A and B are shown apart, each in its own frame.
Chain A
Amino acid sequence: MKNEENENLMEYLKRKFMVNWLFGSLSREGKSTSAILVWVGFFILIFFIVIAVFAPYIAPYNPLKPAPGAPSFSPPSLKYPMGTDLLGYDLYSRVIWGSRIPLEVSALSIFFSLIIGMPVGLFSGFIGGKIDRVLVMIMDSIYAFPGLILAIVMTALLGPGLINVAVSIAVVYIPLYFRTVRNHTMSVKQELYVESGRAMGASRFQLIARFIAPNVILTVPVLISLNAADAILTEASLSFLGLGIPPLTPDWGREISDGSYYLQQAPWLAFFPGIFIVLLVVALSLIGEGLNDIVNPLIKRRETL
Chain B
Amino acid sequence: MKIISVKDLKIYYNTSRGVVKAVDGVSFDIEREETLGIVGESGCGKSTLAMGLLDILPPSAKVSGEIILEGEDILRKDDEELRKIRHEKIALIFQDPMTRLDPLMRIKDHFLETFHSHRPELSEEEALKLSGDLLEAVGVSRETLNYYPHELSGGMRQRTMIALALIFNPLLLVADEPTTSLDVIVEAQILQLMNNIKKEFHMSIILITHNLGIVAEMADRVAVMYAGKIVEIGPLEDIFISPVHPYTQGLLGSVITLESKNLVMMPGEPPDLINPPTGCRFAPRCPYALDICNKDEPPLEEIKKGHSVACFRAKELAEEKNYYLRGEASERAD
State yes or no: do A and B touch (Cβ within 8 Å).
yes
Q: What's the least CB distance linking A160 to chain B, in Å?
A: 51
Chain A residues with CB under 8 Å of B60's CB are 29
Docked complex: B24-80 residues within 8 A CB-CB of A: 60
B59 nearest in chain A by CB position = A29
Q: Total interface residues on A, using CB and 8 Å? A: 4
Q: What's the least CB distance linking A289 to chain B, in Å?
A: 19
The answer to whether the Cβ of A296 comes within 8 Å of any Cβ in the partner chain is no
The DSSP consensus for interface residues of chain A is: loop
Residue-wise interface mask of A (6-31) relative to B, using a CB-CB cutoff of 8 A (1 in contact, 0 not): 00000000000000000001001101
Considering the chains assembled together, what is the distance between the CA atoms of A25 and B18 in angstroms?
A: 12
The answer to whether the Cβ of B16 comes within 8 Å of any Cβ in the partner chain is yes
Q: What's the least CB distance linking B98 to chain A, in Å?
A: 21
A25 nearest in chain B by CB position = B16
Chain B residues with CB under 8 Å of A29's CB are 14, 16, 60
Considering the chains assembled together, what is the distance between the CA atoms of A28 and B16 in angstroms?
A: 6
Chain B residues with CB under 8 Å of A25's CB are 16
Considering the chains assembled together, what is the distance between the CA atoms of A290 and B60 in angstroms?
A: 22
Considering the chains assembled together, what is the distance between the CA atoms of A25 and B16 in angstroms?
A: 9
Chain A residues with CB under 8 Å of B16's CB are 25, 28-29, 31
Chain B residues with CB under 8 Å of A31's CB are 16
B16 nearest in chain A by CB position = A28
Q: What's the least CB distance linking A13 to chain B, in Å?
A: 16
Chain A residues with CB under 8 Å of B14's CB are 29
Q: What's the least CB distance linking B12 to chain A, in Å?
A: 15
Considering the chains assembled together, what is the distance between the CA atoms of A28 and B15 in angstroms?
A: 8
Considering the chains assembled together, what is the distance between the CA atoms of A31 and B16 in angstroms?
A: 9
Chain B residues with CB under 8 Å of A28's CB are 16
Considering the chains assembled together, what is the distance between the CA atoms of A29 and B17 in angstroms?
A: 11
B14 nearest in chain A by CB position = A29
Considering the chains assembled together, what is the distance between the CA atoms of A25 and B60 in angstroms?
A: 17
A27 nearest in chain B by CB position = B16
Considering the chains assembled together, what is the distance between the CA atoms of A81 and B60 in angstroms?
A: 51
Considering the chains assembled together, what is the distance between the CA atoms of A29 and B16 in angstroms?
A: 8
Q: What's the least CB distance linking B13 to chain A, in Å?
A: 12
Docked complex: A28-52 residues within 8 A CB-CB of B: 28-29, 31
Q: What's the least CB distance linking A34 to chain B, in Å?
A: 12
Q: What's the least CB distance linking A301 to chain B, in Å?
A: 11
Q: What's the least CB distance linking A214 to chain B, in Å?
A: 20
Considering the chains assembled together, what is the distance between the CA atoms of A28 and B60 in angstroms?
A: 12
Q: What's the least CB distance linking A106 to chain B, in Å?
A: 34
A24 nearest in chain B by CB position = B16
Q: What's the least CB distance linking B60 to chain A, in Å?
A: 8
Considering the chains assembled together, what is the distance between the CA atoms of A200 and B297 in angstroms?
A: 49
Considering the chains assembled together, what is the distance between the CA atoms of A70 and B60 in angstroms?
A: 63
Considering the chains assembled together, what is the distance between the CA atoms of A202 and B116 in angstroms?
A: 63
Considering the chains assembled together, what is the distance between the CA atoms of A3 and B60 in angstroms?
A: 38
Considering the chains assembled together, what is the distance between the CA atoms of A28 and B14 in angstroms?
A: 9
Considering the chains assembled together, what is the distance between the CA atoms of A154 and B60 in angstroms?
A: 52
Docked complex: B205-244 residues within 8 A CB-CB of A: none
Q: What's the least CB distance linking A23 to chain B, in Å?
A: 14
Q: What's the least CB distance linking B134 to chain A, in Å?
A: 38
Considering the chains assembled together, what is the distance between the CA atoms of A115 and B196 in angstroms?
A: 67
Considering the chains assembled together, what is the distance between the CA atoms of A190 and B89 in angstroms?
A: 48
Q: 6 A-B residue contacts at CB 8 Å?
A: A25-B16, A28-B16, A29-B14, A29-B16, A29-B60, A31-B16
Chain B interface (Cβ < 8 Å from any Cβ of A): 14, 16, 60
A-B pairs with lowest CB-CB distance, top 3 = A28-B16, A31-B16, A25-B16
